[in-house]
Chains A and B, each alone.
Chain A
Amino acid sequence: MRLACPHCGPRDYSEFRYGGDASKQRPPHGTTGHGTGDLQTWHDFVFLFDNPKGPHLEYWQHVLGCRRWFTLTRNTATNEVGEPK
């Protein structure tokens, strides 16, 4: 699989690090700072993941190159990737 880094251009998948589901919304912290808020919501955000077959919005980092983070859509069944953003 080859991914297109927005800075460096198309590169081998081995130069990248997968950063997880980019469609998840990070829950708000509570009023008393980090580590507070609704614990069930935070638990679900940190530990529970969908495992969809088909298009999936993902974070990736060009870890061996410019180290930039970006998002792209990848089809988990075919590894067909969309445009990076």
Chain B
Amino acid sequence: MLERRSALAVAHPFAWAALTLGEVRGFTLTQVAGFGNFAADVAATAGALPETSNQAVESNGRTIFRTGPHAFWFVGPENDDLAARLAGKAIVTPLSSSRTRISIEGRAAREVLRKGIPIDLHESVFTPGMFAQTGLHHTPVLLHCTAEQRFELYAMRTFALNVWEWLEDAALEFK
């Protein structure tokens, strides 16, 4: 059995008073896209799909992001068999190994993210449940606000350590 190795295996998670940086492991990320009326078939299997491009939906134990006009990301538990159940109904791409999920929590979290992400992250605008596909340190990331002071960043695996080091550096003033 092959063992999954984190791209952040050499990184050091930390928990300060103002900021906690860590990695969320053990999830299944499935990209689902299609043509025509594929969304109806997908919804019949996976539950109601989000209508908007900035609000995630929690459904059947999964978080669903609308990542494009005809594309969705499903984040489920590690043993999620959604990809197999949607086979033949849509274009299904397993992405679990391609993204690293970084968690940022604490009262300094927004301030740290604001240093590198050019969208409005004010707590009255970017509220829990919202997400944005944007860029951080020249790499594409999906930023998900899971609570008022907690965020998850989905970074491409090969850039994950780079993003992590950028976050560490941006966080130093809050140590």
Seen from chain A, the residues whose Cβ lies within 8 Å of a Cβ on chain B are 6-9, 11-12, 14-15, 63-68
Which residues of chain B are within 8 angstroms of A67 by Cβ–Cβ distance? Answer: 68
* Contact A8 B53, beta carbon cutoff 8 Å: yes
On whether A15 and B53 interact (CB within 8 A), knowing A65-B140, A67-B68, the answer reads: no
Closest to A16 in B: B135
> Once the chains are docked, how many angstroms separate the CA of A6 from the CA of B54?
12
Which residues of chain B are within 8 angstroms of A65 by Cβ–Cβ distance? Answer: 132-135, 140
Please provide the 10 A-B residue pairs with the shortest distance between their CB atoms, ordered closest to farther: A64-B135, A12-B118, A65-B133, A64-B140, A66-B68, A7-B53, A15-B135, A8-B53, A7-B69, A66-B133
Which residues of chain A are within 8 angstroms of B119 by Cβ–Cβ distance? Answer: 11-12
Which residues of chain B are within 8 angstroms of A12 by Cβ–Cβ distance? Answer: 118-119
On whether A11 and B118 interact (CB within 8 A), knowing A65-B133, A66-B133, the answer reads: yes
Report the interface size for chain B: residues with CB under 8 A from the other chain. 14
* Contact B118 A63, beta carbon cutoff 8 Å: no
Interface SS, A side: loop
Annotate B136-164 by CB proximity to A: 1 below 8 A, 0 otherwise. 00011000000000000000000000000
> Once the chains are docked, how many angstroms separate the CA of A7 from the CA of B72?
13
On whether A68 and B118 interact (CB within 8 A), knowing A8-B54, A8-B133, A11-B134, the answer reads: no
* Contact B132 A63, beta carbon cutoff 8 Å: no
Question: Smallest Cβ distance from A51 to chain B, in angstroms?
Answer: 28
> Once the chains are docked, how many angstroms separate the CA of A27 from the CA of B44?
44
Question: Smallest Cβ distance from B22 to chain A, in angstroms?
Answer: 24
Question: Smallest Cβ distance from B71 to chain A, in angstroms?
Answer: 8
> Once the chains are docked, how many angstroms separate the CA of A11 from the CA of B54?
13
Question: Smallest Cβ distance from A67 to chain B, in angstroms?
Answer: 7
> Once the chains are docked, how many angstroms separate the CA of A1 from the CA of B68?
23
Q: Which residue from A6, A7, A8, A15 sits with its C-beta under 8 Å from B118? A: A15
* Contact B68 A15, beta carbon cutoff 8 Å: no
